[in-house]
Amino acid sequence: STPIRALGSNRVSRVLVAPQSARSRGGGVRLRRVLGRTPPSSGLESLSIGKPPTSPIRGNALSPRATMADASLETTDTALVDGETKWQNTVTRVSKAVVVIKTTGTRAFDTESASSSYATGFVVDKARGIVLTNRHVLRPGPTVAECVFQNREEVSLVALYHDPVHDFAFFRFDPNDVSFHDVEEINLLPEGAMVGLDVKIIGNDSGEKLSILSATLARLDRDAPKYGNKTYNDFNTWYVQAASGTKGGSSGSPVVNVDGHAVALNAGSKNKGASAYYLPLFRVQRALELLRNAAPVVGDGTGKFDTAIASRWHEPIVPRGTLQATFVYKGFDDLRRMGLPVDVEKRLRDTQVSSNGTGALAVEDTVPGG
């Protein structure tokens, strides 16, 4: 795909890309926001009866230290091989849950224009056919969408829920429409995200249908990325940051650990640089549990589902409130310049010792009269 032109070195872009048919007024492609091992010794020596014990060979015998070093290297190599095998098994299973999402926004609505694009999603409940992706993929307005599994089987999607503030949303499909693909689902593990965790981002990066990118989580307290002044921006939440280099089409990709659990949701990246930003899954998990109540029973436990699944869904209810204010995370150096007293800073630092916190929330905007 054609890369997005950066407006500034610090600009970030949502990881979502439009098909090549969409042309800008300048004549270029207009893309949406980018968006042999030695057996172990038994420890016992055996002597042949009637023969003296064999003397050790002096010239080329291995020292105990060298033997221990070889054993250590062998153990390390074995661990690496086992880790790679586990990752291969995880990727094979997880990829069966990842889908390419193709959407067409039929009307301009809210912060989204009428356009066609493609992105990524993944199945989080195969019994109910629930697919998780980003809010900017589903769009808040009228949308026609379908998903394509890895075996090139295509099914229609229906918008189920999008969060009014945070960048996540759910589609649903009828499990009976899937005839050939062995659908898997990915479990959510919000508390699994931690600094130094090795992860893989599996999705439709750069329109390649299936790309597997590796990264190591570097931050868990990154502010929500700013995509522009006249477009959708997330707020009042942390983001996870890592240098995965995700590009257009990977919006909605699962960020998975070696056990195949999703620890975050890929959302955006910088135009220039490898930094990428992932949405934490705490609010996503809560919403998913509430959405499951909209279709409490869809199967008989044998893998066969009610053919009238669409009529069994009722309106999903995900209650939430509003703070009527926008908060931003500031480091203690910035807070000190804003007038934070030293004694208050000390109390804040003492309460954040276990979490290695380096700042606090500050009010950025408020609703007039709120």
Q: Report the C-alpha gap between 166 and 232 in whole angstroms.
A: 10
Q: Report the C-alpha gap between 126 and 1 in whole angstroms.
A: 31
Q: Report the C-alpha gap between 366 and 363 in whole angstroms.
A: 8
Clarify whether 251 is annotated catalytic: no
- Report the run of H or E that residue 211 belongs to, with start and end: strand 211-216
Clarify whether 211 is annotated catalytic: no
Clarify whether 136 is annotated catalytic: yes
Q: Report the C-alpha gap between 218 and 230 in whole angstroms.
A: 29
Q: Report the C-alpha gap between 11 and 272 in whole angstroms.
A: 8
Nearest one of 132, 125, 128 to 99, comparing CA atoms: 132
Exactly one of 13, 244, 250, 269 is catalytic; which is it?
250
What are the residue ranges of helices labelled H in the chain? 64-94, 135-138, 282-292, 309-312, 332-337, 342-351
Instruction: Record the tokens describing residue 2, joined without a space.
Output: 């054609």
**Residue type at 327?**
F
Exactly one of 167, 174, 205, 223 is catalytic; which is it?
167
Exactly one of 136, 162, 166, 261 is catalytic; which is it?
136
Active site (catalytic) residues = 136, 167, 250
